[in-house]
Amino acid sequence: RVPPAIPPPISPLSKYKIALCQLSVTSDKERNIAHARKAIEEAAEKGAKLILLPEIWNSPYSNDSFPVYAEDIDAGGEESPSSLMLSEVARSKKVTIVGGSIPERSGGRLYNTCCVFGSDGELKAKHRKIHLFDIDIPGQITFKESETLTAGESPTIVDTDVGRLGIGICYDIRFQELAMLYAARGAHLLCYPGAFNMTTGPLHWELLQRARAADNQLFVATCAPARDVNGSYVAWGHSTVVGAFGEIIATTEHDEAIVIADIDYSQLDLRRANLPLGKQRRGDLYQLVDVQR
């Protein structure tokens, strides 16, 4: 790898509970925000120290809705009620939140953006979806995020109270190079808020999560919206936590749910000792190049 891989740092918490809040999403933005707050508070009361929300949880998932529901996250306050709520509840409950994603307005452009808040309520990182969801399967699904959204330009890795996290959004999970880059930067856990659809969800959602975890020998957590069969976009659901051996630790179906699971980073060392892939890679034949590093 160029530059060489960084081993994961010692995490302030090596064992903790993670929560995935699979939420129903409506056209009522205030309701969506209040509903997400309630779910986060419930997850915290159940002992979760890291809480994930779904992709586009404050808005319907549609190109028509993105401009209407978009927020100026950098301005904060009343200009971004969704991120304000996440900051407040992270601080009050002393939890780390990977805030799913919301439509973001910045510099005359729209992005699909995930905010990570620390247990002090501070914004630790902001990930703009790198790979836009442009898909065309005739007779099944056609969607082009690029009609309204702009792609992000930077991978996002962030140190938190619950370890080093690599952040992706939905379609980002399809690109193994991004996960490899995060592993090479010392991530313990990859978080992918996502809203896979009813066509690719049954085929690829679990497969991709398990592949990213097994290939890179780290944890993967995903969080999806609950399924709304009457919505213009129907999500697959099935929020999941995957272990470093590619095993399913916890998952759910398509209805609203709060999934609680235990994370134990000692498993990373165990699995990397069982299968020493890092030592077995043939750098003389192939390499991953981290351009921005």
Instruction: Write out the catalytic residue numbers.
Output: 55, 129, 170
The rounded distance, in Å, linking the Cα atoms of 242 and 218 is 9
Using left for φ > 0, alpha for ψ between -120 and 50, and beta otherwise, residue 93 falls in: alpha
The rounded distance, in Å, linking the Cα atoms of 284 and 290 is 17
What is the dihedral angle through the alpha carbons of 118, 123, 125, 129, rounded to the nearest 10 degrees?
Answer: 110
The rounded distance, in Å, linking the Cα atoms of 104 and 89 is 20
Quote the distance between the C-alpha of residue 166 and its chain's center.
8
Distances (CA, A) of 14 to 51, 73, 192, 235: 16, 31, 20, 33
Please count the residues of the chain: 293
The rounded distance, in Å, linking the Cα atoms of 48 and 275 is 30
Angle at 289 between CA 285 and CA 293, to 5 degrees: 150
Q: Which of 14, 13, 33 is nearest to 23 (CA)?
A: 33
Diameter of the chain measured on Cα atoms: 55
Q: Which of 287, 288, 274, 293 is nearest to 214 (CA)?
A: 274
